[in-house]
Amino acid sequence: MTGEVTKDPWARLRAATPARIGLGRAGSALPVAANLEFQFAHARARDAVQRAVDFAALADDLAPHPTILVDSAAPDRATYLRRPDLGRRLGPGDWPALDGHPASDLAFVIADGLSADAVQTHAAAVVRACDGPLKGLKVGPVVLARQGRVAIGDQIGARLGARLVVVLVGERPGLTVADSLGAYLTFAPRDGRRDSERNCISNIHARGGQSHEQAAAKIAWLARQALARGLTGIALKDDAPALDGHGQTGIGRAT
């Protein structure tokens, strides 16, 4: 029948996921709109990796939490991206900045990782959201680790005398989300800790990810369990009650 409207069979599936599905074709290529959206997402992901975190602004956002700024052994962003090993180590001149602080139950380390956008947008908010859930624990200064990766928290935590270190780091950007933050918890931080000895909370972001409050509640639950049981990693399962969007306990189990 002429003039009959054909329903898009992909519409319901596209509404249920941010993935690029059912984009259609324009001859042998993608439609113009889909192609432009892809290029924009790719540019956002590339910029998130290359952009530098404004650590001075981040320190202001964290106030009144005391902060310490340190650098990894990577001298610049280009070297950092080529040499992941240098991002896991403190620069030789930054050790003294971590001396003289009282031992603590927990220390936060914020490292830029692979997404400056994630750190700039979410890291301070997550630390502030943890204030209530971590009440009663002694929390050390927040260390801002420029050109840092997850394992730099092992050296920092050990030097500070923290029983547990929580590293907030920008996750590798995807074509759907370029500002996703991750949190890594390591009990008894020291050089040589393996990834299997850490707990990870990922996908902290505003577009369908975990909210700041949800992330804070999970960080606090894992932190208290880690301190009580003396371990993190594959031996510490996340059995915390499920949370709603405001970090409040709901029915069911957390994944």
Looking at residue 135, its pLDDT comes to 96
Tell me the mean pLDDT in the region 117-122.
Answer: 94
For the chain, what's the residue count? 255
Given a contact cutoff of 8 angstroms between Cβ atoms, the answer to whether 189 and 167 are in contact is no
Tokens of 236: 């510490």
Tokens of 223: 């932190």
Rounded alpha-carbon distances, angstroms, from residue 5 to 2, 12, 100: 9, 17, 73
Q: Where are the alpha helices (DSSP H) in 91-246?
A: 116-118, 124-129, 152-160, 212-229
CATH superfamily placement of domain 52-239: Ethanolamine ammonia-lyase light chain (EutC) (3.40.50.11240)
**Number of helices (H) and strands (E), helices first, in the chain?**
9, 8
Given a contact cutoff of 8 angstroms between Cβ atoms, the answer to whether 161 and 101 are in contact is yes
Q: Among candidates 241, 254, 144, which has minimal Cα distance to 210?
A: 254
pTM value > 0.85: no
Tokens 């700039």 belong to which residue? 120
Who has greater pLDDT, 11 or 47? 11
Give the mean pLDDT of the chain.
86
CA–CA dist 162, 129 (Å, integer)? 20
Residues 6+ apart with CB under 8 A from 135: none
Rounded alpha-carbon distances, angstroms, from residue 29 to 13, 33, 68: 22, 11, 51
H or E element at residue 142: strand 142-146
Q: Is the pLDDT of residue 121 over 90?
A: yes
Q: Among candidates 107, 123, 104, 127, which has minimal Cα distance to 115?
A: 123
Calculate the CA 22 to chain-centre distance.
30
Kindly report, residue by residue over 81-118, the tens digit of the pLDDT. 999 999 999 998 999 999 999 999 999 999 999 989 99
Looking at residue 237, its pLDDT comes to 86
Q: Is the pLDDT of residue 242 over 70?
A: no
CA–CA dist 77, 98 (Å, integer)? 23
